[in-house]
Amino acid sequence: IRLLCLIFLIIVSYLGFSIINEYDTNIHIEVLNYNIDISSFFALSSMLVVCIIISLLIRILSFIINTPNLISQRIKTSKTEHNIKQLINAYSFILSNNRSEAESIIFRIKNELTTEFAAHIYLLLSELETEAEQKSYNLKHLLDFSGYKHFATKALAEHFFKYQYYQQSLEYIKQTPNLKNDIEAQKILITIYAKLQNWEECENSISNLESLKPELLKELEPEIANLYFVAAKTMLENGEDDRASYYLKQSLTYQANFIEAIDLLCSLNINAGKGKLNKPFIENAFAISPSFELCELYARSTNLKAQATYQELASLVDSRKHLGIFMAFAAYLGLDDEIKALKESIE
């Protein structure tokens, strides 16, 4: 193939020169009383060679002029690459809990990196900083970067919540993008509203979280129950017994065996002459975790005779598995026959 290509090139070259010689014409040039006769082919070839030489000279001159800038740019690029590697190392040290090493790297390179890496610097500094004001300063700067706003708003909310600045915490968590569908943000909102004693908004956030992820709320049931219990005590302090009763019922919805809530609700109902309303709450709690305290509350809440009261609770669980509780309850009600029967079941 190479031989064929060479033969083809020779033939084409021969034909090309033959055509040029056939159609070539002489050009007469007169310069300073000198007459010059040259062929048109030679004139065009000479002009082409001159253009090529000028182009090469321009390139060489441009290279000489730009060489210092190229060297400077190369040094700058190399330094930036080195700092980026250091930045990655800082992330690694933070993840491995080597905070002192990460801090030394950041303070060494933070003034050398360009503005495009500013977000990384503020993020790392916010993780490393222990002084409250400086930490909030770094987190606030992250709000200017769209990719970090979601993180920064929640981090600021948690930061101010930690130092009991609940109103500021609320202001930042409300800036969270797509707040209503953000599970973590809703969890923070619940605790903030509870601290601010804004119980209506707290309940709305709980409902919203339940609609977003019911299984998560199941994990948080003890915490939610306690929040409603705190709300009920707040209502009692304000003299709002009906609202207190409502929040206690909500508390027991999430944790049926919350004994403090049951005790307070039963006391409210008994004082209001509504002791019968306590029955379902006590029965639900007793079926989950029997206790003598619940037995006593049940006895105080019902108008049934002692034997009937005992039998109703005994029907909820196996009395033989809770002998101590039922023997104490039978003694409390004065039911000697039931005590005797329990003792015989042991034998």
User: DSSP string covering 229-247, please?
Assistant: HHHHHHHHHTT-HHHHHHH
Q: Say what percent of the chain tops pLDDT 70.
A: 86
Per-residue pLDDT, 143: 86
Label residue 150 exposed, middle or buried (CB < 10 Å: 0-12, 13-18, 19+): middle
Q: By mean pLDDT, which of 128-132, 195-199, 289-293 is the weakest?
A: 128-132
> Within 10 A of 94 (CB to CB), how many other CB atoms are there?
19
Per-residue pLDDT, 252: 93
pLDDT interval class at 17 (50, 70, 90):
low
Instruction: Give 267 or 93, the one with higher predicted confidence.
Output: 267
Per-residue pLDDT, 106: 81
User: What's the number of CA atoms in the CB half-sphere (13 Å) around residue 266?
Assistant: 23
| Mean pLDDT of all residues in 253-275 | 90
Euclidean distance between CA atoms 322 and 215, whole angstroms: 32
pLDDT interval class at 13 (50, 70, 90):
low
Q: Is 281 helix (H, G, I), strand (E, B) or coil?
A: helix
pLDDT at 152 exceeding the cut of 60: yes
Euclidean distance between CA atoms 268 and 2, whole angstroms: 106
φ, ψ of residue 36 in degrees (nearest 5): -125, 125
Per-residue pLDDT, 181: 79
Per the CB < 8 A criterion, the answer to whether 174 and 155 are in contact is: no
Distance from the Cα of residue 18 to its chain's centroid = 80
**Which residue type sits at 170?**
L
> Within 10 A of 161 (CB to CB), how many other CB atoms are there?
19
| Mean pLDDT of all residues in 226-237 | 93
Q: Is 255 helix (H, G, I), strand (E, B) or coil?
A: coil
pLDDT at 14 exceeding the cut of 60: no
Instruction: Give 1 or 183, the one with higher predicted confidence.
Output: 183
Per the CB < 8 A criterion, the answer to whether 270 and 300 are in contact is: yes
Q: Is 345 helix (H, G, I), strand (E, B) or coil?
A: helix
Euclidean distance between CA atoms 219 and 254, whole angstroms: 10
Distance from the Cα of residue 37 to its chain's centroid = 85
**DSSP state for residue 275 in the 8-state scheme:** G
Q: By mean pLDDT, which of 39-53, 165-179, 278-292, 326-340 is the weakest?
A: 39-53
Beta bridge partner(s), residue 31: 34
| Mean pLDDT of all residues in 95-110 | 80
